Amino acid sequence: MNITWALLMMALGSVGVQSGGHESDVSAALQSAVNPPVTAEQAGSAAPNTSAGNASPSPAPSATPAADSALHTDPQPDAPKVKGIYVTAYSAGGSRMEQLLALLDKTELNSMVIDIKDDAGYITYKTDNAELQEMGTPQNFIGDINKLMTRLKEHDVYPIARIVVFKDSVLAKKHPELSFVNSDGSVWKNKGGDSFVNPYNENVWKYNVDIAKEAAKLGFKEIQFDYVRFPEGFEKRADALKYTKSDRPRVEIVADFVKYAKAELAPLGVRVSVDIFGYAASVPAAEGIGQDFVKISKNVDVISPMVYPSHYSTGWFDVKDPDKDPYATIKGSMVDTHKKLDPLGSFKPVIRPWIQDFTASWLGSGHFIKYGKQQVEDQIRALKDENVDEFLLWNANNRYTSEVDYEQ
């Protein structure tokens, strides 16, 4: 197993990433993996301070995390065993929705993960909430959100709201003080042109949780937070950018956001889930981006590791080309996931991985195979063999393989 490569890949993306990322990001992530920070951050009090050049910081997050005891009870003990698909806001608000509902009607699939705040940072429907309107520039991708919720209920679909948290170009542009700023005053962007907002800032926490609260009131049964992390390769630029921060380590800040969200949403009876890199189950914490598999998992109802076989490199789980052996790759990832989370005991969340329903042609000739019925079923069978009976299918274009037996 190549731990350096694993840490590299952990820094490169999230659910929606289906390729290796930009070369400069790869380089930065690799250097971070080879030389992880060991002295730059130390646990301590949350007294605010600033990075270079930030003269007027806002307070560090002050919300009190949920008590551990609150995590012992599933807010939805009668929820179904979720077998779901990813649905963009464009699909949810367009003609593609008819095909997707038909897929669920005729198969064992029973859930949709729908973009409510997307990868750019747009709220995907026209909210009436004035504060959300000002912060998020809501779009009309989903023309009638209430009609959508009614349709989902009529088709007995378990609805999950996907909220992309800290990757948010919209909020960063409108409120640079909530983001990371270069020395020339411009908002920092990654090589893909995306900006992130600052996980240290409590206003960012509240904004995203307010979106989640509205989604819950609309009828979503679960809130799935994605991009719950700092930007890729952040440790290399942490001291050069201007932003508010405290002396708490990044892994603690990210975990504290999850605790805060869980506590705030608890009265609404919704589950809280988080997407996280599949590699995180097999390697130490990714301190650069602030993701610790155990710390995050302990504070959610559901954890969704992204275990796409295409995202593992040669040698993982003793497989030469993981994309070509989906069963062995998924099985190995679940063995590691259980090992990581079993010590949590009653705090262990539901494990509901994201699996692959797309073809990773970018891996190059000889290193990938076309994904179809057999490959999807192999992944589901591997999950079942490791006592994992929930899953989510990812396809960025929402074109899912037909004739799949989802009850392997």
213-236: average pLDDT = 97
311-328: average pLDDT = 95
Enter the pTM of the model: 0.86
Which residues are CB-neighbours of 220 under 8 A, at least 6 positions away?
114, 116, 149, 159, 160, 161, 270
- Total Cβ atoms within 10 A of residue 205: 23
**Phi, psi values for residue 187, rounded to 5°:** -75, 135
pLDDT in tens, 111-144: 999 999 999 999 999 999 999 999 989 999 999 9
In terms of C-beta density within 10 A (0-12 exposed, 13-18 middle, 19 or more buried), how is residue 73 classed? Answer: exposed
Contact by Cβ (8 Å): 344, 297: yes
- Percent composition of the chain: helix, strand, coil (DSSP 3-state, to 5): 40, 15, 45
pLDDT in tens, 361-392: 999 999 999 999 999 999 999 999 999 999 99
The token pair that represents 298 in the structure block:
């302990």
Looking at residue 137, the DSSP 8-state letter turns out to be -
Predicted pLDDT of residue 408: 83
When pLDDT is cut at 50, 70 and 90, the band that residue 162 belongs to is very high
**Is residue 56 pLDDT above 70, yes or no?**
no
d(CA 48, CA 114): 36
pLDDT in tens, 4-48: 444 444 444 444 444 333 333 333 333 343 333 322 222 222 333
**Phi, psi values for residue 189, rounded to 5°:** -130, 150
**Is residue 92 pLDDT above 50, yes or no?**
yes
- Total Cβ atoms within 10 A of residue 235: 24
**Is residue 214 pLDDT above 70, yes or no?**
yes
Predicted pLDDT of residue 72: 60
d(CA 394, CA 245): 34
Predicted pLDDT of residue 57: 35
The token pair that represents 27 in the structure block:
């380089």
**Mean pLDDT (the chain, rounded):** 86
Beta bridge partner(s), residue 307: none
Which residues are CB-neighbours of 360 under 8 A, at least 6 positions away?
18, 19, 308, 310, 323, 368, 371
Beta bridge partner(s), residue 384: none
- Closest to 294 measured CA to CA, from 340, 228, 326: 340
